[in-house]
Amino acid sequence: MALQVCKDIDSIRQWVDKWRSNGETVGFVPTMGNLHAGHLHLVEQAQKRTDSVVVSIFVNPLQFGPGEDFNAYPRTVDKDRQKLEAFGVDLLFLPTNAGVFSNGASTTVAVGDLAGRHCGRSRPGHFSGVATIVCKLLNIVQPNQLFLGEKDFQQLLIIRKMISELNFPVQVKGIPTVRESDGLALSSRNSYLNALERQSAPLLYRSLCLAKDQLKNGRRDWAGIEKEQIETLEKAGFTVDFFSICSVEDLLPAANEHASWVILAAVMLGQTRLIDNIRVMRSEF
């Protein structure tokens, strides 16, 4: 089937209703566009696990704060459409602001304490904006499975929590981060990096790997590990927002009794915000 493009709610629901009536399962990959290999890996996983796949492209104003890059965020819809068509995606959903947010719309989704930690401290309101748009898109698309990347690990946990607590009939599939050959996590914002910054950017992932190795070797001086990696990154020209070893369940500070941890990091390199994480499982050592 050729790629179908829908811009309004009624038309996408007609397609989904048709698939459902035929007994097909529906996978959904929400994006903000400027698609890269990481997005396409999500699509690939959705195609393997469901019968029909919907991809949305919508640059959500609610998740950008004052002074952030909403206006500058790359919008490459024509190229994205070509990539999705070549990849065999069934339907591309291109909603407009007016279509998503009715006049005077004031309902938002509050996601509790988890949204105030880490990224939420420096980007107040960001995760409420993310949760609100995902909630709306799930109500519009009504998929069986939702596919999200693990690079935005805090976001993944928040969406899982929202879906569970609001009783959405959808399964969330977290998909491992896709990286460049030098370890840099793929991100639409990587295009902001200049040549020198691009050379430095993989140090973020290397710092996460070094911290993980120390944990695997038995070190439990959480604050000391964090401090060392922050200093290393800052000496290399990064401005560190946070570098935190946390419980994988709730992103509270790590403790010995946790079965696994996640190391979260967010930095600025020049004008570009980079985020990344790495999981540490006790079963690995």
Distance CA 125, CA 115 (A): 8
DSSP reduced 3-state for 181: coil
Residues near 104 by beta carbon (within 8 Å), at least 6 away in sequence: none
Token pair for residue 31?
């994006």
**Active site annotation includes 39:** yes
Report the C-alpha dihedral over residues 136, 140, 146, 152, rounded to 10 degrees: -30
Residues 92, 57 contacting (CB under 8 angstroms): yes
Alpha-helical regions (H) of 64-125: 77-86, 97-100, 119-122
Q: Which of 36, 39, 118, 126 is catalytic?
A: 39
Q: What are phi and psi of 117, to 5 degrees?
A: -95, 155
Backbone Cα Rg of the chain = 19
Residues 184, 205 contacting (CB under 8 angstroms): yes
Which residues carry out catalysis?
39
